[in-house]
Structure 1
Amino acid sequence: MMAELAAHGDPALVASLRPTTADYQALFEPAFAERAQRFYEKGLWASMPPTAAPFAKPDQTEVRVWGATTEELRAWGKDAQANFPGGYEEIKDQLRPGLTIYSIDMVVPGEEHGMAYNGLTYVNGHWAFFPKPWRVLESEK
């Protein structure tokens, strides 16, 4: 899925990743779930263009994927710190148990950094996208 998005973009696929109210409630603690839904609905999902551009540059052909359970992110151990943005430490206590969150990097082979995406989660029987959830903390201040 991410390799296809990286190379070509896919508006229908991106739209299918839009979380439902139940998805926010399953991933986040109740008060944070409400804030997160307001944040994403006013931002990312409200501004979603009718066409999606490729998620990576043509030479970024290597896809690296890391998964961490919400329990591992809450513990914020070495693996989580090495493979997830530091913003997850800020919201770790807002994550509910029992799910896995994925971080994906598209890189030029041999390079360490490229296009990074995080927050892809399999929840309630489908994939949903909650990118950079720590930005919810910056909203409504």
Structure 2
Amino acid sequence: MRSVRPALLTLAVALGGIACGPLEAPEPDKNTPQSPDDHIALRLAFEKVADAAKSGDSAAVVRALEPFLATRDELVTLFGPEVGARAWKGYSDSIAATLRAEAGDVIVRQVKDGQTEVAVEQVGPAFPARTTPGDQRLLDAMRSKRPMYSVRLRRPGEQLGLRFNGFVYIDGKWRALLKAYDHLDPPPDAEPPPAPTPAPVTDAGAPDAGN
């Protein structure tokens, strides 16, 4: 019996060592971002838009979207001075103006239709099934490369829904480029003015100056 006790002690120490050894790291909380640029932070921020839509208040939805609108300086940082300035004109004159005028009503309708879940997906060459041609144009044009995401309002359990393009984290903020890809290229050249009509020629071969 005496010889058994050291064996039991050895076994207990071994088991204790196993029990106290390093454990696998717990799975991260899907509702706790690991850093401000974590895509979970983007999802939580956009859920405020969905929450505003649940009240049926279109103006509140627009106010919740405003923090996602990019500035001129941010577009210049992303795309460089020339392309960024050009993108800013279309972004401010068309995209932001349309968002303020129409997005509130659209999102309220979609949320009332059951699209209450916010889904965030990274896009880019590593995710071809998620990446639209417009997404790729934005990524290709970036001088300052960074991850880009899409945000989708959808019904729980479904994959499709209302998609918002081009979310990037820049200067400590989440910004939505949306359809800025439509404004990256210079506009097509204006049609050349028509050629002047030649002056009538007299029999002597000189332009007719009139009587």
Q: Same fold (TM over 0.5)?
A: yes
CA gap of 1:128–1:29, structure 2 versus 1, over 3 A, is same
Q: Which among 141, 147, 165 is matched to residue 118 of structure 1?
A: 165
Structure 2: 5+ residue stretches without partners: 1-44, 54-60, 189-211
State yes or no: 1:108 paired with 2:155: yes
Greater mean alpha carbon deviation, residues 33-42 or residues 19-28: 19-28
Asked if 1 retains the 8 angstrom alpha-carbon contact of 2:48 and 2:64, the reply is: no
Greater mean alpha carbon deviation, residues 118-127 or residues 81-90: 81-90
Report 1:40-59 matches (<5 A): 40-47=91-98, 48-49=100-101, 52-53=104-105, 55=107, 56-58=110-112, 59=114
TM-score by length of 2: 0.54
Q: How far, CA to CA, are the matches of 2:116 and 2:104 in structure 1?
A: 18
Higher strand share: 1
Does the residue aligned with 2:96 lie in a helix, a strand or coil?
A: coil
Q: How far, CA to CA, are the matches of 2:104 and 2:186 in structure 1?
A: 25
**What amino acid is aligned across from residue 50 of structure 2 in structure 1?**
A
Report 1:7-86 matches (<5 A): 7-9=51-53, 10-47=61-98, 48-49=100-101, 52-53=104-105, 55=107, 56-58=110-112, 59-68=114-123, 73=124, 76-77=125-126, 79=127, 81-86=128-133
Higher helix share: 2
Asked if 2 retains the 8 angstrom alpha-carbon contact of 1:35 and 1:136, the reply is: yes
In the TM superposition, residue 103 of structure 1 has moved relative to its aligned partner by 0.4
In the TM superposition, residue 43 of structure 1 has moved relative to its aligned partner by 0.5
CA gap of 1:7–1:20, structure 2 versus 1, over 3 A, is same
How many residues are treated as equivalent by the alignment?
133
1:3 equivalent in structure 2: 47
Structure 1: 5+ residue stretches without partners: none
In the TM superposition, residue 53 of structure 1 has moved relative to its aligned partner by 3.3
Q: Which has the higher contact order (CA 8 A, sep 6+)?
A: 1
